């Protein structure tokens, strides 16, 4: 006979640290988490953002080309850098029980059971004197999974009042429950492509979508993008920088059209792919977060799909939801609970991923 779970309250303070594929910078989210029976809750204590300077942008964008020795040096150097910036962020704050650091993804080849996030957790711990949980994806790939996405368990346990959770970061991804199972996958590239073309015009990003708004949809390009092989694969699946460089940019390079037209066409493409990913129709509450949520023109395209309720939360949730959830993954790991779902990644079983470094 299975005994009922004891009504024991567990509370911990965790600092979540996240660096996204779009290379804009590092998000910090200091959160308090509480578990009572099977219910989880959280409170945001402090958030912060550290933009990368040009030196770090260059080093991280070129890291995949380093030899093994130089790559390991950078892995440890970046860990120390994150540790230093963590100390600055936590100044005058009570030290958390754990730091949960995602790191910055350099390689992601799930078909080869390989994914690597730079930023050595041991060096973060040595710099801060705080226990660190890092390398969240590796166990899942060892179990045959994609190692991504990891956020869906946080969507399920912390944001369950929404039917769908969509994040517009370097990639647009989706998470939802269907038939008592959590499903999630990368829908399409997002800021990784948008920022690339904005950079060609001397801008960090397309503020409010104004450049794309002033362009025209190129139907031929739109059709060709829709025929990319990734869209015909069934989940579990995930995208990577390498995939975008191999399959997306060569298509764009064939078209001698303005940046504005490329962006307008891509906005149309991404909006359609997001709409297509919502399988349960009408009256669905869709939470939209991530940096791309600030793109007013793109959000207006989504809102044209009136059968859904597109919910844009407050700025802190928009900008820091992924860092909050990585703090939550650290919380789950610290209490020995599952933090990675096989239904999402395709692994042979659910796991509790993350290496723990304790001073």
Residue 278 lies in a domain: yes
Pairing of strands 114-118, 25-36: unpaired
Determine the pLDDT at residue 5.
52
Quickly state the pLDDT bin for 93 (edges 50, 70, 90): confident
Give burial (CB, 10 Å; 0-12/13-18/19+) of 66: middle
CATH number at residue 131: 3.30.420.40
- Give the pLDDT confidence of 218-265 residue by residue, as tens digits: 999 999 999 999 999 999 999 999 999 999 999 999 999 999 999 999
325 shares a domain with 301: no
**141 and 236 in contact (C-beta within 8 Å)?**
no
Determine the pLDDT at residue 130.
98
Give burial (CB, 10 Å; 0-12/13-18/19+) of 306: exposed
303 shares a domain with 164: yes
Q: Does 101 have pLDDT greater than 60? A: yes
161 shares a domain with 306: yes
Residue 173 lies in a domain: yes
Q: How many other C-beta atoms can be found within 10 angstroms of the C-beta atom of residue 208? A: 15
135 shares a domain with 77: yes
Q: Which residues contact 128 (CB under 8 A, 6 or more apart)?
A: 83, 86, 87, 90, 99
Q: Does 157 have pLDDT greater than 80? A: yes
Strand partners, 39: 36
306 shares a domain with 168: yes
54 shares a domain with 22: yes
346 shares a domain with 255: no
Full domain range(s) for residue 188:
152-317
Q: How many other C-beta atoms can be found within 10 angstroms of the C-beta atom of residue 220? A: 11
Instruction: Report helix, strand or coil for 195.
Output: helix
Give burial (CB, 10 Å; 0-12/13-18/19+) of 181: exposed
Determine the pLDDT at residue 6.
55
266 shares a domain with 126: no
**173 and 185 in contact (C-beta within 8 Å)?**
yes
Residue 3 lies in a domain: no
Q: For residues 62-91, give the mean pLDDT.
A: 98
Residue 1 lies in a domain: no
Residue 16 lies in a domain: yes
- Give the pLDDT confidence of 1-35 residue by residue, as tens digits: 444 555 689 999 999 999 988 899 999 999 999 99
d(CA 278, CA 163): 10
Determine the pLDDT at residue 3.
45
Give me the percent of the chain exceeding a pLDDT of 70: 97
- Average pLDDT of the chain? 95
Determine the pLDDT at residue 1.
42
Domain count, the chain: 2
Q: What number of H helices and E strands is found in the chain?
A: 14, 13
231 shares a domain with 191: yes
Question: Tokens 């998470």 identify what position?
Answer: 175
299 shares a domain with 231: yes
Residue 245 lies in a domain: yes
- Give the pLDDT confidence of 254-285 residue by residue, as tens digits: 999 999 999 999 999 999 999 999 987 777 89
Instruction: Report helix, strand or coil for 17.
Output: strand
Identify the CA nearest to 355 among candidates 133, 126, 150, 119.
133
Quickly state the pLDDT bin for 179 (edges 50, 70, 90): confident
241 shares a domain with 109: no
164 shares a domain with 119: no
Q: Which segments of 95-159 does DSSP mark as H helices, in order?
A: 121-128, 138-142, 152-158
């Amino acid at each position: 006979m299975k005994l009922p779970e004891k009504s024991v309250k567990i509370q911990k303070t965790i600092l979540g640290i996240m660096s996204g594929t779009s290379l804009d910078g590092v998000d910090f989210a200091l959160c308090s988490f509480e578990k009572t029976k099977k219910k989880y809750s959280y409170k945001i204590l402090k958030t912060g953002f550290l933009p990368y300077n040009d030196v770090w942008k260059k080093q991280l964008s070129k890291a995949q080309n380093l030899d093994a020795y130089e790559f390991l040096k950078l892995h440890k150097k970046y860990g120390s850098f994150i540790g230093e910036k963590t100390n600055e962020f936590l100044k005058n704050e009570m030290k958390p029980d754990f730091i949960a650091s995602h790191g910055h993804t350099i390689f992601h080849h799930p078909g080869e059971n390989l994914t690597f996030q730079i930023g050595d957790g041991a060096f973060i711990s040595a710099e801060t004197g705080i226990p660190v949980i890092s390398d969240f994806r590796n166990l899942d790939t060892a179990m045959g999974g994609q190692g991504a996405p990891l956020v869906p368990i946080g969507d399920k346990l912390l944001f369950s009042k929404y039917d769908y959770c969509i994040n517009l970061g370097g990639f647009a991804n989706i998470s939802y429950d269907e038939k008592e199972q959590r499903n999630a996958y990368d829908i399409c590239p997002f800021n990784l492509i948008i920022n690339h073309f904005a950079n060609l015009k001397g801008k960090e990003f397309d503020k409010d979508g104004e450049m794309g708004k002033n362009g025209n949809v190129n139907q031929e390009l739109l059709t060709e993008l829709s025929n990319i092989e990734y869209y015909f694969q069934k989940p579990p699946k995930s995208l990577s920088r390498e995939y975008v460089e191999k399959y997306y940019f060569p298509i764009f390079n064939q078209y001698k059209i303005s940046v504005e037209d490329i962006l307008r066409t891509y906005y149309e493409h991404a909006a359609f792919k997001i709409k297509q990913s919502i399988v349960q129709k009408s009256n669905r509450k869709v939470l939209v977060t991530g940096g791309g949520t600030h793109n007013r023109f793109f959000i207006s395209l989504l809102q044209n799909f009136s059968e859904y309720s597109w919910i844009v939360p407050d700025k802190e949730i928009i900008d820091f939801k992924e860092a909050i959830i990585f703090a939550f993954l650290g919380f789950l790991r610290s209490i020995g609970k599952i933090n990675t779902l096989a239904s999402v990644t395709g692994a042979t079983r659910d796991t509790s991923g993350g290496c723990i470094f304790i001073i």
